[in-house]
Amino acid sequence: MLVLADLRTVSLFDGLRDDQLAELLAVGDEVTVVPGDVLFHEGDPADHWWALVDGALDLSRHIGREDVTVGRMDVPGRWAGGFRAWDEHGVYLATARGVAAGRMLRVPAESLRDLADRWFPFAAHLVAGLYGTARSIEATARQRSGLVTLGTLAAGLAHEINNPAAASARSAAELERACDGLLEALRHMAVRGLTAEAFESLDSLRRGLAPPSALADPLETADREEELGDWLERAGVERSWDLAAPLVSAGADVDWLERAAATVPPDALGASLEWVARTIDVSSLLAEVRESTRRVSELVAGIKTYSQMDRASHQRVDVREGIESTLLVMGPRLRPGVTVVRDWGSDVPLVDGMPGELNQVWTNLVDNAVDAMDGTGTLTVRTRAAGDAVVVEVADSGAGMSPEVQQRAFEAFFTTKGVGRGTGLGLDVAHRIIVDRHGGSIEIESQPGDTRFRVRLPVSRAPGTP
């Protein structure tokens, strides 16, 4: 059973007299912490106040379809619950499960409120007001920030997906026109009595066309189209200028046209070259549709990787994959003035971590770098193995950070950005994700033209970490 001497070793109770501690013990009781046992559940009424005397507990929340560890109580004096002392609707914000044997002091919320009112009446009123006001402001601010960030990312992604989707739709419409032209040309070839042998020879010539290995400059392309157009016009081919462009794009020249003319009857030359031109159009449009749909699939895959849909929160993580998906999602922020340099290193091992949370960190660091460069400059992302850890560097060529800003960068609520700027995820949250959740470190090295955020993640997390 807890005694006065047990509480005297806990800094939380510094300043209380012996008679006050005795009164606190009288209204409370000792609860044994047993590894694996649950002391209170997320969402239940927070009608008790829990203060850790010794031992350790994990705090977890149910997010999506699984329980995620969000914190740990492992220092004597850390406390949880008791919110109904000031808020009749207060509930436990997490589930507490023992991880190391110990003891806790449990005090009914009603008794805690009575003691606070008698011992610190003014402070009790302040706490009640602060709790209600802070909860309201925090809920509103988080909701607003989350919606703004989600809206920004969604708008960017919608733009990214719309471009290839629109291109695919345009190509499909053009493909219908090209197929109609192809069938019409075949009909004209049949009407003019083109034999199977002549058609086979023409098709062999078509398949022998080879597009230029390098794109010619516009003037050279125009000259070639004019040369083929003149030849076609002299040969009496209708719509000669409409046929010249696709033939040039496929690598046809005057010599090829003369061989084609020798293969088919003179009155079937126009229809035959029309057929060749339309097959070239169809192949080109199919390639555009294929590339556009590939880009859409790539974006969807990147979004799934970034959001970690259908994946466990904790797993072996390839940080390069997470950073790449982040760069894809942040694509609209990186154009047109930002040059991205990737230096992935070699033999970078997987790390033990939570990829969804790490992606939030990469998002924040990339967004900060783009802001620091005012949208123009070089963003460099490096990864490398470093002993039993992986090091990730996000560097920018911006103006740099002053020593004062560097010292405060990881403070809660500190920002140098204006209202409405940024992702809504402060560097203090990024720091907690890296340091508290992954047992790593994050540091800043800055000078004008070269600011680096260096993240170090252990390959394997130490036993007992969240």
CA atoms within 13 A on the CB side of 285: 18
What domain range is 390 assigned to?
313-458
Residues 35, 97, single domain; the answer is yes
- Whether residue 43 is contained in a domain is answered as yes
Residues 327, 291, single domain; the answer is no
Residues 112, 68, single domain; the answer is yes
Residues 260, 213, single domain; the answer is yes
- Whether residue 387 is contained in a domain is answered as yes
Nearest residue to 260 (alpha-carbon basis) of 279, 274, 249, 281: 274
- Whether residue 419 is contained in a domain is answered as yes
Residues 76, 175, single domain; the answer is no
CB atoms within 10 A of CB 280: 23
Q: Pinpoint the alpha helices (H) of 308-426.
A: 319-329, 355-372, 403-408
Strands (E) in 34-133, as ranges, are 38-40, 48-63, 66-73, 79-81, 95-108
Q: What's residue 162's pLDDT?
A: 77
CB atoms within 10 A of CB 19: 9
**Total domains, the chain:** 3
Copy the structure tokens of residue 175: 């493909």
- How, if at all, do strands 315-317 and 79-81 pair? unpaired
Residues 333, 447, single domain; the answer is yes
Nearest residue to 368 (alpha-carbon basis) of 271, 259, 455, 262: 455
Q: What Å distances lie between residue 362 and 220, 331, 374, CA to CA? A: 46, 13, 18
Q: What is the pLDDT along the chain (466 residues), one digit of tens a residue?
A: 888 998 988 988 888 899 999 999 999 999 999 999 999 998 888 899 999 999 999 998 876 567 778 888 999 999 888 888 877 777 888 899 999 999 999 999 999 889 888 887 766 555 555 555 545 544 554 455 545 555 656 666 676 677 788 888 888 888 888 898 889 989 989 998 889 999 999 999 999 888 765 556 778 888 888 999 999 999 888 888 888 888 988 888 899 999 999 999 988 999 999 999 999 989 888 888 888 888 787 777 766 666 554 455 678 889 998 898 888 877 777 877 899 999 998 889 999 888 878 888 898 899 889 888 988 899 999 999 998 999 999 999 998 888 888 887 887 656 655 434 444 346 877 888 898 888 899 999 999 999 999 999 999 864 444 4
- Whether residue 55 is contained in a domain is answered as yes
Cβ–Cβ < 8 Å for 339, 381:
no
Residues 96, 170, single domain; the answer is no
Q: What's residue 129's pLDDT?
A: 57
DSSP state string for 401-459: --HHHHHHTTSTT---SPTT-S-S--HHHHHHIIIIITS-EEEEEEETTEEEEEEEEES
Residues 226, 173, single domain; the answer is yes
The CA distance from 215 to 193, in Å, is 38
Residue bearing tokens 């009496």 = 236
Q: What's residue 364's pLDDT?
A: 86
- Whether residue 134 is contained in a domain is answered as no
- Whether residue 272 is contained in a domain is answered as yes
CATH of residue 95's domain is 2.60.120.10
- Whether residue 405 is contained in a domain is answered as yes
Domain boundary residue, one of 63, 96, 119: 119
The CA distance from 326 to 392, in Å, is 14
Domain boundary residue, one of 244, 262, 296: 296
Residues 292, 330, single domain; the answer is no
Backbone angles phi, psi at 388, to 5 degrees: -95, 25
Dihedral sign, CA of 262, 266, 270, 275?
negative
CATH of residue 361's domain is 3.30.565.10
Residues 33, 102, single domain; the answer is yes
**Gyration radius from the chain CA atoms:** 35
- Whether residue 24 is contained in a domain is answered as yes
DSSP state string for 273-288: HHHHHHHHHHHHHHHH
The C-alpha angle 398, 348, 446, rounded to 5 degrees, equals 20
pTM of the model: 0.48
Residues 327, 441, single domain; the answer is yes
Domain boundary residue, one of 60, 88, 119: 119
Residue bearing tokens 């007001």 = 129
Q: What's residue 287's pLDDT?
A: 86
The CA distance from 456 to 348, in Å, is 12
Q: What's residue 212's pLDDT?
A: 67
Chain centre to alpha carbon of residue 104: 40
Cβ–Cβ < 8 Å for 310, 355:
no
Residues 268, 345, single domain; the answer is no
